[in-house]
Amino acid sequence: MTPPVDLLIRNSLLLCAFDDTGTELPGGWLAVDDGVIVAVGDKDTAPPEAETVVDASGCLVLPGLVNAHQHLYQNLTRCYAAAAHVDNLTDWFWAYFTAWGRLDAEAVAISTTVGLAELALSGCTTSADHLYLHPEPELIDAQIQAARDIGVRFHPVRGSMTLGEADGAICPPNLVERVDDVLDDSRRLVEAYHDPTPSSMVRVGIGPSTLMSSSDAAMIESAAFADAFDVRLHSHVADDPDEEAYVGARFGRRPLQVYEDFGWLGRRSWLAHVVYPNHDEINALAAAGVSVAHCPSMTMIDGGLPGGPPPIRAMLDAGVNVGIGCDGATAADHQSLWLETKTAMLLSRQREGRASAMSARDALRMATRGGAHAVGRDGEIGQLSVGTNADVSVWRMDTLPYAGVLDDPVTGLMHCGPASAWHTIVGGKFVVRDGEPVTVDVPEALRRHRAAASSVQGLTCQ
Ligand SMILES: [Zn+2]
């Protein structure tokens, strides 16, 4: 007799695999053993016996969402008063630097815990994170421990700022690092934590913050480091008029041209924002296999960008891989990847002036397959296929926000809401179950977060 598998999710309203052929199974089920999907079937096929059975009646079953760009530490300065009425990127950085200069291991750890818990509630099972401020050593070590405790796959990017005020750039002296120190610490992190295996829970990348705060050497040597250690390469680019003006004055080139000059346009790169690409730049990104992390709220929260929303439809049509990121809490002030996916759908429709420019399935494919590809994990996560990791999000569709959604729960999930995942499962293990986080003590986490946020903001602990 065949032994039972570890987990069976059965009786779904609809299972959408987001595989290469767009498999959608009414009444679908999936079976999990040792953290991997071992079988997928429809209502007419019999599932195997399982130790744990989840009845997904009335639920939409999707792959776990993949967050392609994030700065978790920024949830310590949400709605920070000093930055409330800042209208450009340069002033925005300066408004926050005093607070961010107070980051310590406890602040970074608890902001990671709270951020990943909020992301898990939005169906996210893998998150990148870009920490480019290091007022103390080993902050990413604290993040990795927090991520392991909560059970979300974690892709920390060892960021940096290597040009300061004295160089005409945007970084105070206490946060500027030497390139050799950045590379040494990146090597230490890769050797200590980077796991390239398909079931990996932690993969380390390298990523200078922006051209506005990075030396030529930091850009060039980071790309060489990524090649040498076979890790991903990440940064922000073309996200604000201030950056275009700064880069034009320093290099006499457009930002993406500078990235190309520095050896960044290749398959191991994924770039956040890319709000202003022209036709030739879009084609260059596609030809080079560079992925884009689209963070739609970031383009709106400060009043929108003069060029309007980014041309995501054109990028997808040209063959650019696009994932979705929440960006830091100061750029979105929420960490719901469901909401960011919905916002991406709406923003592209607004830009193109037609609903067909971005379907619910298009948006969810970016949030699953697009994100998986961006962080270098196509075929491992972001789809529900035999042999992929059992990273699953389960959404109840028999609740008030979805009353009347009878034909198409996928479109319903994106058009209606607000939504929160009913179950979020990573490698076959529950991180959210019945709508509640199960790997974190939420009241205790909020108490620690309030103390850390008060300290970082320079307030008396409340
Ligand atoms: Zn960012």
Domain locations along the chain: 5-63+383-437, 65-374
C-alpha 159 to ligand 1 mean position (Å): 11
- E strand or H helix at 360: helix 360-365
C-alpha 3 to ligand 1 mean position (Å): 47
**What is the CATH number that goes with domain 5-63+383-437?**
2.30.40.10
C-alpha 8 to ligand 1 mean position (Å): 37
Rounded CA-CA distance 224/211 in Å is 17
Q: Are strands 59-63 and 392-396 parallel, antiparallel or unpaired?
A: antiparallel
Q: Which amino acid is at 172?
A: P
C-alpha 238 to ligand 1 mean position (Å): 11
Rounded CA-CA distance 416/393 in Å is 17
C-alpha 258 to ligand 1 mean position (Å): 19
C-alpha 272 to ligand 1 mean position (Å): 7
Provide the total of helices (H) and of strands (E) in the chain, helices listed first. Answer: 15, 19
C-alpha 70 to ligand 1 mean position (Å): 6
Rounded CA-CA distance 179/217 in Å is 7
C-alpha 236 to ligand 1 mean position (Å): 6
Per residue of the chain (462 residues), give pLDDT as tens.
789 999 999 999 999 999 999 999 999 999 999 999 999 999 999 999 999 999 999 999 999 999 999 999 999 999 888 887 777 777 878 888 889 999 999 999 999 999 999 999 999 999 999 999 999 999 999 999 999 999 999 999 999 999 988 887 878 888 999 999 999 999 999 999 999 999 999 999 999 999 999 999 999 999 999 999 999 999 999 777 888 888 999 999 999 999 999 999 999 999 999 998 999 999 999 999 999 999 999 888 877 777 789 999 999 999 999 999 999 877 778 899 999 999 999 999 999 999 999 999 999 999 999 999 999 999 999 999 999 999 999 999 999 999 999 999 999 999 999 999 999 999 999 999 999 999 999 999 999 999 999 999 998 655
C-alpha 282 to ligand 1 mean position (Å): 20
Rounded CA-CA distance 184/135 in Å is 16
DSSP annotation string for 367-409: IIIIHHHHTT-BTTBSS--TTSB--EEEEE-SSGGGTT--S-H
Joined together, the tokens standing for residue 112 give 């990671």
C-alpha 420 to ligand 1 mean position (Å): 24
C-alpha 6 to ligand 1 mean position (Å): 38
C-alpha 71 to ligand 1 mean position (Å): 6
Phi, psi of 461 (to 5 degrees): -55, 130
Rounded CA-CA distance 399/417 in Å is 10
C-alpha 295 to ligand 1 mean position (Å): 8
**What is the CATH number that goes with domain 65-374?**
3.20.20.140
C-alpha 69 to ligand 1 mean position (Å): 6
